[in-house]
Structure 1
Amino acid sequence: MVAVAHEIRTYGGWRRRHGIGLLGLDTTATFAALGGAVALLLLGSFVPVALLYLAPPILAAGLLCLVRIGGVPIGRIVLARWRWWWGTLRARNRYSAGVVVDHPRAFQLPGVLAPLTLISAEDGAGGRYGLVWDRRTGRLTATLRVVPASTWLADRSDADNWVASWGQWLAGLGHLPAVRWVTVTVDTAPEPGSTLADSVARVVTPDAPDTAKDILNELVQRAPAAAADVDTRVSITFDPKASPAAPRDLTEAVADIGRVLNGLESALGGCGVSVLGRATASEVAGAVRTAFDPHARGEVNRLLTRPDTDELLAWSDAGPVHAIEHTDHYEHDGGVSVSWAWHEPPRQNVHADVLSRLVAPGPFPKRITLQYRALPAAAASRVLQQEVNAAAFRAQFRRRTGRDETARDTWDSARARQAAAEEAMGAGVCLVSMYATITVTDEQQLKRALAHVEAAADAARIRLRRLWGSQAAGFATTLPCGICPADLSRRSLR
């Protein structure tokens, strides 16, 4: 008898983006610190007395920039706390919807969702789909509804092919300048029971035996405790201003997006998912509504089965009646939510099903989001070469200062060179981030829900950090609305 060993493929290579910086500072801060040090030396050589007055503020600034808590400089933490205090003082963390209003734009969503609105477009095949339009930036987000195949019921070679196809799909985004980012969300929640009850009620005939009716009724009552509502979405955010077609208005931009979506849909079918189609405007509004009000999930599912859904479920119905953002949680209609962000990816190589426990249904409504920002193909090589040069600069600086190279420094340099070599062979480059949101309808269950998510993240070799002071933004990122926290942070600094 001959034993044959089957090789199990693993995946890895994630690394945090670094610039040419010293002491944990980025490139800009490093050159600013060096320039300040040179200016201080010159000033001290000509006016030594001035050092007595400049030394205290310089020392304080150095402490704020160099001393870190959890990897974050103290200065940034102080600035964030001050901005949070100023915002709460002006009640910017509270939202209340108007009941009687006299202008059409009153039904805005809270926080970063306020400039968004929902439009409906034709898909060219006799159907319609929804587009979330950011009126501030002009970006449009379309959502594809997909059903992923289970890796537990598939051959290992099939799963490897799906991962390879997904990598090629992401690499292709680097050749589509209009695509800004892709958001993949797995939305799970306990089955409310109404979906199964409605399905059974439609098929049961009045003259059915009483015994059969009793069995079906008992099944309907017991099934929600063991069933789950799972929805997987792929939201693609487009920037019409970056499109080579240069659309002149919203109509031309929607038409151009429809053409690009056709190719992305067909290519996505080889990534281990079945594409159900583009989400309609009512389905997008329903996803937002159930996130804000978990109790409405059954009613929304019932409305989505009706032919006149677009009239009964509009964007004005998606938002909450009230919402209050706290530093560590987010209160909204019928629920309390907590959001996390990806702090550190797995350090070791992992299998293709590493996220299975994290995205699996649980006792609470949960949304796990992966966001991919593909670098343009023309810029990917330059960015990776800068990363290699930055790693070499830090290694040279350590040698000049007599410091030993740590194991993590060696690993980071090797990963930077590996990424540059893979890009030279045709691989794409993506900036990846992860966000998680869990919602409870009873605040007494919040600690249990937090432990559920954090234990699942540990099983996936992922470190999550709670979004202190940014709970509303994290909550919105997991919705099919095209929100990107990295873009929001850059926008706030302008």
Structure 2
Amino acid sequence: MAASDLKGAGPAAQRTYGNWRRPRTAGIGQLGLAPTLLLLGGLCVVVLSMLVSIVLALVLAVLVALVLAPLTIRDRHGRTLLTRMSTRLAWRGSVARGSNLYRSGPLGRTGHGTCTLPGVAASSVLSEAQDSYGRPFALLTYPNSNHHVVVLTCDADGASLVDQQQIDVWVAYWGQWLAGLATEPGLVGVSVTVETAPDSGLRLQNEVRSNLAADAPELARTMLQQVLEEYPAGSAQISTRVALTYSGAARPGHPRRTVDDMAVDIGNRLPGLTSGLSMTGAGAARPMTAVELAEAVRIAYDPAVATLVEQARAAGGSGLTWQDAGPHGAEERWESYRHDSASSVTWAMSEAPRGEVLSSVLTGLLAPHPDIARKRVTLLYRPHDPASAARIVERDRKDARFRAMQSAAGRARDDLALQAAEQSAQEEASGAGVVRFALLATATVSSPDALPRALAAMDNLAAPARIHLRPVTGSQAAAFAACLPIGLVLPLHLTVPASVRDNM
């Protein structure tokens, strides 16, 4: 949950934002709830075994220590030794099975020679419906999890030459829009993807040539020709997409819903959602059609076809289907992902900015970079409903108070965590929303030799944004798919439930 605070006074005062914190459960020292219970249970067994044999008690004590050691050793990103070991073992198993390799198309292993999406999105099905305004929208369905995704495309206004006062208003409306999602029936996740890519200049050429008068002066023709030749060079195309993921599972008073039911339900809600986005600086928002979504995913997996897709779109439409939106071939490596004509690396945010930040903190991270051909930054949100939000903030306040009281002298970090938890509880009681958020960033280059420059560029971009990024080792394919605007909610696709992982 983010809070704002106005620093200073007068017209030059700037609004800052912060008060986000990682959820933690109460435990002894750095242990979570589950390791603490394991420790207490082990101590009880050791004490009881002393009545039988001292040697047995020592052996059991060593076993308890060996079991707890992987849960207490953490790296600078907060990952335990157990998490790193399980990730490495799972990666070796996938390589041994050959599941890190993907081949599709006529010579591949997919059905009917199609190019379906690999990995966690392989079972997705794309259909199209109409909202209450009569606008067609793509409805992406995941049958395994019964999730249904609608994607909105926005023409963001940008913050250039905009007064800081207007930017603060946009941020306030964005927070209000996110808080309102907590009351959306069946909503389980939201993602905002900002993608930067080289502009081919085809759109500018088509626009100029379609509006050029036949009797235009020669000077005007020469000037426009020079514009068409020089302006696209070095320019970037920035696209913003918002994916909303709904669950079709049964709810109290509502049976399990089919794809047709979800299409009607989501279609009735889209006008209100798109109109609310227009107040956040996102510009004119509209739902993406099935062809547009298939084109965006196809270009992400094979950037070399971007120019061909734009040419086909200008000629009347590409007609691309969801069965052909995936790559022809892909190879997942420990810290990179090779797909068709490009190679990518995906990072995950391990720590949000500490303290308070300005509204422009992510500007550099979202902006185009010359060493990265295509860059995709995705913010993942999971809003909590009002009942869950109240329980979460009260539990966080109790856990923070418990940790602050463990040390007699007290630590500054524990005191600040307690203050943040108290402030979050007060804001939630006054009507603020509680949202879990994460960040993924994907850098795509045309050649594996360019990956080192992309890695260095992302390291330089993360520092001004005041966030810690770590490569998603062993899960690059799933992280790449989650960074796309296709509405994947990764915690709901894990083998180990998220509730268990949060208590470790």
- TM-score, L = length of structure 2: 0.90
Partner of 1:10: 16
Deviation at 1:73, TM superposition (A): 1.6
**Per the alignment, do residues 78 and 113 of structure 1 end up closer, same or farther by CA in structure 2, a change over 3 Å counting?**
same
Partner of 1:26: 32
Residue from 56, 63, 66 that aligns with 2:69: 63
Given the alignment of the two structures, is residue 350 of structure 1 paired with residue 386 of structure 2, yes or no? no
> How far, CA to CA, are the matches of 2:174 and 2:427 in structure 1?
16
> How far, CA to CA, are the matches of 1:6 and 1:49 in structure 2?
71
Residue from 137, 145, 159 that aligns with 2:153: 145
Alignment of 1:304-453 (within 5 A): 304-309=313-318, 312-363=319-370, 364-399=373-408, 404-453=409-458
**Per the alignment, do residues 476 and 198 of structure 1 end up closer, same or farther by CA in structure 2, a change over 3 Å counting?**
same
Partner of 2:260: 251
Residue from 111, 114, 119 that aligns with 2:127: 119
Residue identity matched to 1:11: Y
Given the alignment of the two structures, is residue 237 of structure 1 paired with residue 245 of structure 2, yes or no? yes
Residue identity matched to 1:456: L
Equivalent residues of 1:367, 1:437 under 8 A apart: yes
Moved more, 447-456 or 341-350: 447-456
Deviation at 1:134, TM superposition (A): 0.5
Equivalent residues of 1:144, 1:275 under 8 A apart: no
Given the alignment of the two structures, is residue 488 of structure 1 paired with residue 493 of structure 2, yes or no? yes
Partner of 2:236: 228
Given the alignment of the two structures, is residue 266 of structure 1 paired with residue 275 of structure 2, yes or no? yes
Deviations, residues 447-475 of structure 1 (Å, cap 9, x unaligned): 22222222122111111111111111111
Unaligned runs of 5+ in 2: 1-8
Deviation at 1:97, TM superposition (A): 0.2
**Per the alignment, do residues 133 and 79 of structure 1 end up closer, same or farther by CA in structure 2, a change over 3 Å counting?**
same
Partner of 1:42: 48
> How far, CA to CA, are the matches of 1:320 and 1:378 in structure 2?
42
For the residue of structure 1 that corresponds to 2:24, the secondary structure is coil
Partner of 2:199: 191
Residue identity matched to 1:51: A
Deviation at 1:388, TM superposition (A): 0.6
> How far, CA to CA, are the matches of 1:265 and 1:180 in structure 2?
18
Given the alignment of the two structures, is residue 74 of structure 1 paired with residue 110 of structure 2, yes or no? no
Q: How many residues are matched?
A: 486
Deviation at 1:213, TM superposition (A): 5.3
> How far, CA to CA, are the matches of 1:189 and 1:63 in structure 2?
45
**Per the alignment, do residues 215 and 156 of structure 1 end up closer, same or farther by CA in structure 2, a change over 3 Å counting?**
closer
Alignment of 1:434-473 (within 5 A): 434-473=439-478
Equivalent residues of 2:116, 2:325 under 8 A apart: no
For the residue of structure 2 that corresponds to 1:183, the secondary structure is strand
> How far, CA to CA, are the matches of 1:447 and 1:387 in structure 2?
41
> How far, CA to CA, are the matches of 2:134 and 2:113 in structure 1?
30
Residue identity matched to 1:272: G
Given the alignment of the two structures, is residue 133 of structure 1 paired with residue 141 of structure 2, yes or no? yes
Residue identity matched to 2:402: F
Residue identity matched to 1:98: G
> How far, CA to CA, are the matches of 1:242 and 1:412 in structure 2?
37
> How far, CA to CA, are the matches of 2:257 and 2:24 in structure 1?
38
**Per the alignment, do residues 429 and 4 of structure 1 end up closer, same or farther by CA in structure 2, a change over 3 Å counting?**
closer
Residue identity matched to 1:380: A
Moved more, 177-186 or 121-130: 121-130
> How far, CA to CA, are the matches of 1:131 and 1:105 in structure 2?
23
Deviation at 1:164, TM superposition (A): 1.2
**Per the alignment, do residues 420 and 105 of structure 1 end up closer, same or farther by CA in structure 2, a change over 3 Å counting?**
farther
**Per the alignment, do residues 131 and 268 of structure 1 end up closer, same or farther by CA in structure 2, a change over 3 Å counting?**
same
Deviations, residues 43-91 of structure 1 (Å, cap 9, x unaligned): 1233323134434433322322212223222122111101100110101
Deviation at 1:370, TM superposition (A): 0.7
Partner of 2:3: none
Unaligned runs of 5+ in 1: none
Q: Percent sequence identity over matched residues? A: 36
For the residue of structure 2 that corresponds to 1:69, the secondary structure is coil
Residue identity matched to 2:203: T
For the residue of structure 1 that corresponds to 2:183, the secondary structure is coil
Partner of 2:6: none
Residue from 297, 301, 307 that aligns with 1:298: 307
Equivalent residues of 1:372, 1:430 under 8 A apart: yes
Equivalent residues of 2:139, 2:290 under 8 A apart: yes
Partner of 1:95: 102
Alignment of 1:154-193 (within 5 A): 154-193=162-201
> How far, CA to CA, are the matches of 2:175 and 2:220 in structure 1?
50
Deviation at 1:484, TM superposition (A): 2.2
Deviation at 1:205, TM superposition (A): 6.5
Deviations, residues 424-454 of structure 1 (Å, cap 9, x unaligned): 0000000010110010002222122222222
* RMSD (Å) for aligned C-alpha atoms: 2.3
Deviation at 1:229, TM superposition (A): 1.0
For the residue of structure 2 that corresponds to 1:324, the secondary structure is strand
> How far, CA to CA, are the matches of 2:172 and 2:410 in structure 1?
34
Equivalent residues of 1:134, 1:140 under 8 A apart: yes
> How far, CA to CA, are the matches of 1:440 and 1:266 in structure 2?
36
Deviations, residues 350-404 of structure 1 (Å, cap 9, x unaligned): 11121111111223200111111101111111111000111111122223xxxx3
> How far, CA to CA, are the matches of 1:115 and 1:23 in structure 2?
43
